[in-house]
Amino acid sequence: MSDNLAIRKIIHIDMDAFYASVEQRDHPELKGKPVAVGGSRSRGVVAAASYEARKYGVRSAMPSVTAFRKCPDIIFVKPRFEVYKEVSQIIREIFFEYTDLVEPLSLDEAYLDVTNNKIGLPSATLIAEEIREKIFKATNLTCSAGISINKFLAKTASDINKPNGLKLIKPDEALAFIETLKVKDFFGVGKVTAEKMKRMGIHNGLDLKHKSLGFLTKNFGKSGAYYFNICRGIDDRPVNPNRIRKSVSIENTYDYDLSDSLEIDHELQSLSKSLEKRLAKSKIQGKTVNLKIKYSDFEQVTRSKTAQQWLGKSHEYDPLWKEILLDPALIEKPIRLLGLGLSNLNTDEKDNQGLQLTLEF
Report pLDDT digits (tens) over 255-290: 788 999 899 999 999 999 999 998 998 889 999 999
What is the pLDDT averaged over residues 35-58?
A: 91
251 classed as catalytic: no
Do 153 and 112 lie in a common domain? Answer: yes
Q: Is residue 74 part of a domain?
A: no
| pLDDT per position as a tens digit, 57-80 | 999 888 899 999 999 999 999 999
Do 287 and 258 lie in a common domain? Answer: yes
pLDDT of 311 over the 50 cut: yes
Do 121 and 210 lie in a common domain? Answer: yes
Would residue 128 be called left, alpha or beta, if left means φ above 0 and alpha means ψ between -120 and 50 degrees? alpha
What is the pLDDT averaged over residues 38-42?
A: 83
Q: Is residue 57 part of a domain?
A: no
Q: What is the CATH number of the domain that holds 332?
A: 3.30.1490.100
Please report the pLDDT score of residue 360 as a whole number: 55
Q: Is residue 87 part of a domain?
A: no
Do 226 and 262 lie in a common domain? Answer: no
Do 301 and 260 lie in a common domain? Answer: yes
| pLDDT per position as a tens digit, 77-116 | 999 999 999 999 999 999 999 999 999 999 999 999 999 9
Q: What is the CATH number of the domain that holds 156?
A: 3.30.70.270
Q: Is residue 361 part of a domain?
A: no
What percent of the chain clears pLDDT 70, i.e. is strictly above it? 94
Active-site position among 23, 52, 103, 109: 109
Please report the pLDDT score of residue 169 as a whole number: 95
**pLDDT interval class at 356 (50, 70, 90):** very low
Domains contained in the chain, number: 2
pLDDT of 1 over the 90 cut: no
**pTM to 2 decimal places:** 0.74
Mean pLDDT across the chain: 90
199, 230, 261 - which closes a domain = 230
What is the pLDDT averaged over residues 320-343?
A: 93
Do 274 and 151 lie in a common domain? Answer: no
Q: Is residue 210 part of a domain?
A: yes
Containing structural domain, residue 260: 247-345
